[in-house]
């Protein structure tokens, strides 16, 4: 380690203070209370028949609960895996600026094992209420409910078994993706912490090659998981850039979470090496990928609008013309593009914690709204909306993720003290 970075405490550990835990637990409890109120209100208030257009289907309160579980599972899984992905990108790109904060990124992966269990459990609990294609009568040619389009897509879920039986192929993909994500996360974490005791650049090269394999796997798995977990809800509809779209939503939310955590740690007196230039870089990533998400949102919308093919345009029509979801389309654009774009446009705004805290918090809530719009219309029809249940569940999940991420971060050194590019990061100036 060269002399310049030497006068920093590189053996710093994050101490997960009781006061911090208490604050997070308070949010968790508030969330749980709101969730409880929401469930009670749904049980006693939400028992009505849907209109004829949605088919004669009696709506049950638990369907809304399942839809919320699914939204939060998919959303927070994305934030967790994006942390690992962004870590891998730093090594694959041989980035030097980010050396002191790579472990902040990696810490988000601690949620992945929990995410895997929650996701798989929710699927087994709620599959018929969330996914139309899980009903066997759709594949029975003799049935009046037979659906030619879904039958054509059946093998994607059920292969090698008969369509409409048990979705082996679908479950296998879910288990495989989570299995590999957790495997790569653990491997990268092990290599990163081993670097502290080994020194030299051997670990760095190993992390770099592992990162490259992970990025390739992530490219394929993130896209397919977007089709499986979100697009298959609207089984008739498809969009060829949907994998990109979900990735961009995950990525912006993940970047915002990483930025918030970095600013929080700075505020607690950690990461002295991180200066406003590093914060500026994080701000630029958030700003840039906000625009990227908007570009994809608009591309998907414009192509579908312009082509005007009924089976594609139905997705936007049922959202825009709905009293429940219509307003949220504009909330989505406002929270995820207009406000972040205007606030973060200047150089100063990207260097100041106040603006970044505001925008990143807004984006984390905003991209939850994005996933809410992807999941609820297809699962709940007109019976959706944002109420106590949605807000409560979001707070419960968010605080649980915070506890797991910070708990994981407290287990090892905050800064990779033998990272070969620490010196470069110390002199980072933009």
Average pLDDT taken over every residue of the chain? 94
User: Which one, of 85, 106, 128, 35, lies nearest residue 397 by Cα?
Assistant: 35
Q: Shortest CA distance to 129 belongs to which of 386, 379, 384, 315?
A: 379
Domain segments of the chain as ranges? 19-49+58-131+167-426
pLDDT band at 49 (very low <50, low <70, confident <90, very high): very low
For 10-44, how does the pLDDT look when each residue is reduced to its tens digit (9 = 90+)? 899 999 999 999 999 999 999 999 999 999 999 99
pLDDT exceeds cutoff 50 at 1 = no
Statement: residue 51 has pLDDT above 50 = no
Per-residue pLDDT, averaged over 254-270, amounts to: 97
Pick the range with the lowest mean pLDDT from 47-51, 172-176, 192-196, 294-298.
47-51
- Over range 146-163, report the average pLDDT: 96
Looking at residue 77, its pLDDT comes to 98
Q: What is the pLDDT of residue 48?
A: 53
pLDDT above 90 for 411? yes
Model pLDDT, residue 45? 83
Report pLDDT for 106.
98
Identify whether the C-beta of residue 129 lies closer than 8 Å to the C-beta of residue 252. Answer: no
Give the distance from CA 56 to its chain's centroid. Answer: 34
Q: Residue 319 phi/psi, 5° resolution? A: -90, -45
Is the separation of the CB atoms in 214 and 106 below 8 Å?
no
Q: What is the DSSP secondary-structure string of 279-324?
A: HHHHHHHHHHHHHHHHHHHHHHHHHHHHH--HHHHHHHHHHHT-TT
Task: Assess contact for 204 and 420: CB atoms under 8 A.
Answer: yes
Q: Per-residue pLDDT tens for 351-368?
A: 989 999 999 999 999 999
Output the pLDDT for position 200: 84
Query: Is the model's pLDDT at 56 over the cut of 60?
Result: no
Residue 51 per-residue DSSP state? P
Q: Are 390 and 372 in contact (CB under 8 A)?
A: yes
pLDDT digits (tens, 9 = 90+) for 81-115: 999 999 999 999 999 999 999 999 999 999 999 99
| Predicted local distance difference test score (pLDDT) of residue 396 | 98
Q: Which residue has the higher pLDDT, 266 or 1?
A: 266
Flag whether pLDDT at 413 surpasses 50.
Answer: yes
Q: Which residue has the tokens 């790579």?
A: 102
Residue 335, pLDDT score: 98
Q: CA nearest 1: which of 355, 325, 418?
A: 418
Residue 131 has pLDDT above 70, yes or no: yes
Summarised one tens digit per residue, pLDDT across range 232-249 is: 999 999 999 999 999 999
Q: What is the pLDDT of residues 276-315, one digit of tens each?
A: 999 999 999 999 999 999 999 999 999 999 999 998 999 9
pLDDT at 52: 40
Number of C-beta neighbours around residue 20 at 10 A: 17
Return the pLDDT at 6. Answer: 63
Tens of pLDDT along 327-349?
A: 999 999 999 999 999 999 999 99
Residue 22 CA to residue 42 CA, distance in Å, equals 30
Task: State the average pLDDT over residues 139-159.
Answer: 96
pLDDT exceeds cutoff 80 at 4: no
pLDDT digits (tens, 9 = 90+) for 197-228: 988 899 999 999 999 999 999 999 999 999 99
Q: What is the 3-state secondary structure (H, E, C) of the chain?
A: CCCHHHHCCCCCECCCCHHHHHHHHHHHHHHHHHHHHHHHHHHHHCCCECCHHHCCCECCHHHHHHHHHHHHHHHHHHHHHHHHHHHHHHHHCCCCCCHHHHHHHHHHHHHHHHHHHHHHHHHHHHHHHHCHHHCHHHHCCCCCCCCHHHHHHHHHHHCCCCCCCCCHHHHHHHHHHHHHHHHHHHHHHHHHHHHHHHCCCHHHHHHHHHHHHHHHHHHHHHHHHHHHHCHHHCCCCCCCCHHHHHHHHHHHHHHHHHHHHHHHHHHCCCCCCCCHHHHHHHHHHHHHHHHHHHHHHHHHHHHHHHHCCHHHHHHHHHHHCCCCCHHHHHHHHHHHHHHHHHHCCCHHHHHCHHHHHHHHHHHHHHHHHHHHHHHHHHHHHHHCCCCHHHHHHHHHHHHHHHHHHHHHHCCCECCCCCCCCHHHHHCCCC
């Amino acid at each position: 380690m060269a002399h310049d970075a030497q006068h920093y405490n590189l053996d710093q550990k994050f101490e997960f203070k009781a006061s911090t835990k208490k604050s997070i637990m308070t949010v968790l409890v508030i969330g749980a209370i709101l969730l409880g109120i929401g469930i009670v209100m749904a049980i006693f208030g939400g028992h009505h028949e849907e209109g004829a257009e949605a088919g004669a289907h009696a709506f049950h309160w638990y369907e809304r609960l399942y839809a919320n579980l699914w939204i939060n599972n998919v959303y927070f899984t994305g934030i967790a895996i994006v942390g690992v992905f962004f870590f891998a990108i730093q090594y694959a790109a041989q980035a030097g600026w980010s050396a002191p904060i790579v472990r902040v990124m990696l810490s988000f992966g601690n949620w992945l094992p929990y995410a895997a269990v929650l996701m798989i459990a929710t699927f087994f609990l709620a599959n018929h209420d969330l996914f139309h294609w899980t009903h066997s009568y759709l594949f029975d040619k003799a049935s009046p409910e037979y659906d030619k389009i879904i039958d054509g897509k059946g093998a994607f879920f059920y292969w090698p078994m008969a369509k409409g039986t048990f979705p082996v192929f679908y479950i296998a993909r879910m288990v495989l993706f989570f299995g590999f994500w957790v495997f790569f996360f653990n491997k990268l974490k092990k290599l990163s912490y081993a670097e502290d005791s080994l020194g030299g650049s051997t670990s760095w090269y190993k992390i770099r090659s592992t990162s490259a394999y992970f990025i390739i796997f992530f490219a394929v798995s993130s896209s397919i998981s977007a089709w499986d977990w979100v697009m298959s809800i609207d089984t008739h509809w498809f969009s060829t850039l949907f994998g990109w779209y979900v990735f961009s939503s995950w990525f912006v939310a993940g970047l915002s979470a990483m930025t918030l955590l970095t600013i929080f740690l700075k505020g607690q007196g950690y990461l002295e090496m991180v200066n406003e230039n590093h914060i500026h870089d994080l701000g630029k990533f958030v700003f840039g990928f906000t625009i990227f998400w908007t570009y994809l949102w608009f591309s998907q919308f414009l192509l579908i609008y312009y082509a005007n093919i009924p089976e594609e345009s139905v997705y936007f029509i049922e959202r825009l013309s709905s009293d429940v979801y219509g307003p949220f389309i504009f909330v989505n654009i406002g929270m995820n593009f207009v406000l972040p774009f205007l606030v973060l446009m200047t150089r100063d705004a990207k260097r100041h914690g106040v603006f970044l805290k505001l925008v990143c918090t807004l984006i984390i809530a905003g991209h939850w709204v994005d996933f809410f719009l992807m999941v609820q219309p297809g699962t709940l029809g007109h019976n959706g909306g944002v109420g106590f249940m949605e807000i409560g569940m979001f707070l419960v999940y968010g605080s649980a993720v915070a506890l797991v991420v910070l708990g994981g971060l407290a287990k090892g050194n905050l800064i990779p003290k033998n990272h070969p590019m620490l010196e470069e990061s110390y002199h980072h100036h933009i």
